[in-house]
Amino acid sequence: MGLLDNLGGGMSGMLQTPEGQEMVKKFLGSPEGQNMIVGYVSSPEGKKLLGTMLLGVVDRLNLSPDQKQMIRSIAEQQLQGSAPSPAPDTPQ
């Protein structure tokens, strides 16, 4: 177990260097990195993370409180796995 702890600490230290950050950028820009991202984003865990991030971004946008609440409501419904209700003024 100690070996894994040291490995994690070493990786963390490497990612704090400009060289480590550049290596990660190159990987994420590669076809393999893109496939990894798409795979993760398609997973339930990835969708939950992106939804949580979206909620934080919405709070920082220059939108009216009503618009923010509408977006938050839809995002929260998606995070819970239910389909969003149509907007009140949307014809059915």
In-domain check, residue 33: yes
In-domain check, residue 13: no
In-domain check, residue 86: no
Q: Which residue has the tokens 């177990």?
A: 1
Count the domains in the chain. 1
Give the domain extent around 68: 18-80
Residue-level pLDDT at 9: 67
Work out the mean pLDDT of the chain and round it to a whole number.
80
For CA atoms 50, 55, 58, 64, the dihedral sign is positive
Residue 4 has pLDDT above 50, yes or no: no
pLDDT digits (tens, 9 = 90+) for 54-86: 888 888 999 999 999 998 888 888 777 644 445
> Is the pTM for the entire model greater than 0.85?
no
| Cβ within 8 Å of residue 25, ≥6 positions away | none
Of 2 and 39, more confident: 39
In-domain check, residue 85: no
In-domain check, residue 65: yes
